[in-house]
Amino acid sequence: MPTTQQLTPIDALIARTRERPDAVYMQQPINRQWRTWTWAQTLDEVRRMAGAIAANNFPVGSRIAIMSKNCAHWVMADLAIMMAGHISVPLYQNQSAETTRYVLDHSGAVMVFIGKLDEPERAKEALPANLPRISFPYPHRLQGDDWDEVVKAHQPIALDRLPKIDGIASIMYTSGTTGTPKGVVTRFRHIEAAISAGLRLFHFDGKDRYLSYLPMSHVAERALVEMGSLYSGMTLYFVESLDTFAADLQIAQPTAFFAVPRLWTRFQMGVLAKMPQHKLDRLLGIPIISGIVRKKIRKALGLAKARVIASGAAPISPSLLDWYTRLGINIHEVYGMTETFGQGTTTARGGARAGSVGKPYDTVEIKLGDGALNGGAAGEVLVRTPALMDGYYREAEKTEEVITADGFYRSGDLGKIASDGSLQIVGRVREQFKTGMGKFVSPALIESLLMESAMIEQVCVMGNGMPQPVAIAVLSDVGKAQPRNAVEAAMNELMKNVNLQLESHERLAKLVLTTDLWTIENGMLTPTLKLRRLPMEDKYRAAAERWADEHGLVLWQGSSSSRAVPRMAA
């Protein structure tokens, strides 16, 4: 295949089909039966759906939404929208109805593709009744024109008017961590620039396999999986459901695998549930047996053939990375954002030190702006790359706020750059708060230290205007399985160790263990599972001020010094 230079994803699909028409491109499980699409079948189906879209005579550049969990039809719908001369607008299938309605209205969507959904009725509530729909052919779907019937009823669109490299490919809305989602305008040249840099580093090709399960509406999966597969020729496998994830992973045997930190923690817990840490340590210390144990664990995880393994979207603790390294699983960290189509830094480029997210891709420039954290030792991370967005859709003022005069994007992340050029992310600019002593605190850095405990699954640090910060945490399954006195002992030790690593104004006054659930549905998490700080502050602020005055380092929500029994597993 020719170089990615000046190739749109549509050009890449056509080139792949010419080279390997009968090679399998996508594998999709439906009711545990695997359906496959070759490159030729994919192109034919995309062309027919593009013909169906064109028959609507929408104005060129109309916005068409996609609301579905990952599947082969998500990819084909996206490509069909582009091929027909329009702009795709991915929607998180688990976001609130209010957010969905906002994005559809703000983007001016004229049509929507709907597919695999966890809660079809909630999606139905969010979608305007008069918005034309095409429904993917999966069980428990919402009503709409049937994809297969639409494909059969239309001839393939002609290939004489393909999208140009400078055209707009997609408007990707941010997950709304700090407020209303913003629509990132992504052109085909941004996609090409990001993917070509990635391929020069990771060397994916037609022999590689990837299992897609994270939201395709998130830039990480969109770039690495959908666009990465088109430009590299790798085979895509899809997960049918959460219940079948482990089985689908074993079938796919991916050579490349990406996961968020929470999933890496879950994998670790699964291993330790079968083999306690003390036993694992003993076996790894025996030269002959250690290799067998590592190989067995990699195989059990479905990663026996993975050559590129990565983590991103949120900070991962150095201790967790070290734990996997001992098993022979070397996880590369990747750092990027929707605005740069995922481009930023990676430890695959070097700088693989504790807490680092590595060095920039070969086409990326990183520098720091002015910072207020710890006397100016950190600053806002500024990024310049050919993959940088044009701006936010219909948000000129917000665009001006984040793109500097010399073309750098203000990421909103606080970082430090080491002498070797590697970047460390220490928090978010807007998430910093001032204690009652007037000192700045970055909560993300403290949260990452607390998350090194396998007993904690989620944690939020707050303390604006308070004498000292307070941490509120949700126990993991490992923590919930322990007796209360064991949890308290472990958390007290954790607090002492964490506070020793912090400046005096950053040290935690309390760790409060809550039985509350922090979910997407109750507004505490974004669709990408990041904490939403404002709802957290609203929920816990008043209580946090009371907790700060109670006795002891570790408290239970709902308890006082009276040591009432918490609502959790003993």
pLDDT band at 177 (very low <50, low <70, confident <90, very high): low
Say how far apart CA 490 and CA 220 lie, in whole Å.
Answer: 35
Residue 484's pLDDT is what?
Answer: 87
Starting at the edge strand found earlier in the chain, the sheet holding 133-135 runs 145-146, 133-135, 111-114, 63-67, 87-91, 168-173, 183-187
Q: Which position has the token pair 């994270």?
A: 214
pLDDT-derived band of residue 560, with 50, 70 and 90 as boundaries?
Answer: very low
Question: Which two three-digit tokens encode residue 531?
Answer: 């904490």
pLDDT in tens, 18-75: 999 999 999 999 999 999 999 999 999 999 999 999 999 999 999 999 999 999 999 9
Q: State the pLDDT at residue 71.
A: 95
pLDDT for res 5: 61
Q: What is the CATH number of domain 433-556?
A: 3.30.300.30
More confident residue, 469 or 15: 15
Q: Is domain 9-18+35-200 classified as CATH 3.40.50.980?
A: yes
CA 233/CA 13 separation, integer angstroms? 9
What 8-state DSSP symbol labels residue 392? B
Long-range contacts: 134-141, Cβ < 8 Å, 24+?
A: 134/49, 134/52, 134/77, 136/68, 136/71, 136/73, 136/74, 136/77, 137/30, 137/73, 138/30, 138/71, 138/73, 139/30, 139/31, 141/114, 141/115, 141/116, 141/117
Q: What are 181-226's pLDDT values in tens digits?
A: 899 999 999 999 999 999 999 999 999 999 999 889 989 999 999 9
Rounded to the nearest integer, the mean pLDDT of the chain is: 87
Residue 327 tokens read as 């098993």
Average pLDDT over residues 78-105: 92
Q: What pLDDT, on the 0 to 100 scale, is given for residue 353?
A: 63
What's the pLDDT tens digit per position in 303-340? 999 999 998 877 777 878 888 988 989 999 999 999 99
What's the CA gap between 276 and 255, in Å, rounded? 28
Instruction: Please name the helix (run of DSSP H) or strand (run of DSSP E) that holds residue 333, with its range, or none.
Output: strand 332-336
| pLDDT classification of 569: cutoffs 50, 70, 90 | very low
- Each domain of the chain, given as residue ranges in start order, spans 9-18+35-200, 433-556
Tell which residue, 142, 145, 128, has the closest CA to residue 56.
145
Tell me the one-letter amino acid at 85.
Answer: G
Q: What's the pLDDT tens digit per position in 116-166?
A: 888 787 788 889 989 999 999 998 788 899 999 999 999 999 998 899 999
Q: Pairing mode, if any, of strands 133-135 and 111-114?
A: parallel
What local confidence, expressed as pLDDT, does residue 559 receive? 47
Average pLDDT over residues 538-558: 77
Q: What pLDDT, on a 0 to 100 scale, did the predictor assign at position 20?
A: 95
**How confident is the model over 389-437, as pLDDT tens digits?**
999 999 999 999 999 999 999 998 888 888 888 898 877 777 777 777 7
Q: Which helix (H) or strand (E) holds 448?
A: helix 443-450
pLDDT > 70? residue 4: no
**Same fold yes or no, 9-18+35-200 and 433-556:** no
Burial environment of residue 112 by CB neighbours within 10 A (0 to 12, 13 to 18, 19 or more) = buried
Query: What value does the mean pLDDT take over residues 263-285?
Result: 86
188 secondary structure, DSSP code? H
Q: Where are the alpha helices (DSSP H) in 275-410?
A: 277-284, 287-301, 318-326, 396-402
53 is written with which tokens?
Answer: 């879209």
